[in-house]
Amino acid sequence: MMSGELYAASNNTELLERLRLTSELCHDYNQLRPSQVEERQALLRRILGATGQRFKVMQPFFCDYGFNITIGEDFFANTGLVILDEATVTFGDHVFLGPNCGFYTDRQQHGDSRWQRGGTRHSRRRARRRKSLPRDSSYRPAPRREIVMRYFMQLSYRGAQFHGWQVQPHDPSVQQAIEEALAVLLHTPTPITGAGRTDTGVNARKMIAHFDTAQPIADTARLVHSLNGMLCRDIAIQRVWQVDDNAHARFDATSRTYKYYVHEGKNPFAYPLSWQCPPGIDFDLMNEAAACLLRYRDFTSFSKLHTDVKTNNCTVTHARWERDEHGWVFTITADRFLRNMVRAVVGTLVEVGRHKITVEEFCHIIERRDRCAAGTSMPAHALFLHDVTY
């Protein structure tokens, strides 16, 4: 007996009970962790095997509404299917009877003849029989929960055209631009979460973000190519890869590194991505002050006021000015950064380099935990999120 014939067995109480159990199994399947899959597959073999034929449970797959998966010449959509070598079992509003039968759902109407393989008319007839079957009033299927897959994304962007990373009500942002492109390519709204939230005008050489999708991405390189074709020139996606479902772009990051670029003397080519510093700045003295950052944890003095963070503690592991071929670069690494923190630190260090405050006064500013005591916030165009490590 084919498993699809369970729907027609209205006069067989035993088969109806098996149908209820199998339906319950399929509903619960959407809530399973991978470790439970084998146990449930064995239960399905036992239930279906009692009908008089042996069935081999193959790899299950799931797809969301409107997303089609091709298997040979047959098309399935709009439900999670358990694929067998002899038959296909689905439940809810969906009926699929055997490998050569049609597909029926009252949620969609398809005119494509490939959807009518084996005869949609017969599937609808069996569907009417199924709806007339008595049903245990005490049975309530578990709520369906989609199995999602998580992907990490590495990207870089120039922040001059954006009001920061995070979505803004009325202004363009990097996050908004990527989410809109993903929604088009994946055919569903796809929120993303970044490793950090850069301010307006701040650049990123390496930003990591994650997003979830119920649709497996077979070719991530093609997705990268499509995203880059849709996004503006100020955003570039380097790669996309699948990660563990519990991986988190923000909370799993162990450190972030920012770089602030400055140049001496007027340079029209360096200006868009570097800050022109006044002559006579003492970078050696600034390095003495920067070394003090590693001794402190509370950086309230360098944080923007009235933020939504619970603590202003950060662990700075590296802070130093170094000379390169174009000028000077300040590199700072920490486990986390406060809003506006790097630009405020650089602004206060510049005060030290111009001999307006001493190294001791710089340390006293940190200890006061008062933003008004620190220096000005430096321009955003010279600041880069340089790296994120996990």
pLDDT per residue as tens digits for the range 213-263: 998 999 999 999 999 999 999 999 999 999 999 999 999 999 999 999 999
How far is the C-alpha of 70 from the C-alpha of 101, rounded, in Å? 15
Average pLDDT, the chain: 75
Indicate where the chain has its CATH 3.30.70.660 domain(s).
Answer: 255-389
Quickly state the pLDDT bin for 78 (edges 50, 70, 90). Answer: very low
| 241-246, Cβ contacts within 8 angstroms, sequence gap of 24 or more | 241/151, 241/152, 242/149, 242/150, 242/151, 242/152, 242/217, 243/150, 243/151, 243/152, 243/210, 244/150, 245/148, 245/149, 245/150, 246/150
Question: For 92-130, how does the pLDDT look when each residue is reduced to its tens digit (9 = 90+)?
Answer: 333 333 333 333 333 333 333 333 333 344 445 555 555
pLDDT of residue 110: 38
Answer yes or no: is pLDDT of 37 > 70: no
Mean pLDDT for 371-377 is 94
More confident residue, 167 or 36: 167
Indicate which residues carry an active-site annotation: 199
pLDDT of residue 14: 53
Q: Compute CA 380 distance to the chain's CA centroid, rounded to the nearest angstrom.
A: 26
pLDDT of residue 106: 32
- pTM of this structure: 0.63
**Residue 91 vs residues 51, 105, 321: alpha-carbon distances, Å:** 18, 10, 64
pLDDT of residue 17: 53
Indicate where the chain has its CATH 3.30.70.580 domain(s).
Answer: 149-243
Answer yes or no: is pLDDT of 44 > 90: no
Share of the chain above pLDDT 90, in %: 57
Q: Which CATH architecture has domain 149-243?
A: 2-Layer Sandwich (3.30)
pLDDT of residue 308: 75
Beta strand 275-277 with 255-264: parallel, antiparallel or unpaired? parallel
The verdict on domain 255-389 having CATH code 3.30.70.660 is yes
Q: Measured at the alpha carbon of residue 119, what is the angle toward residues 118 and 123, in degrees to the nearest 5?
A: 105
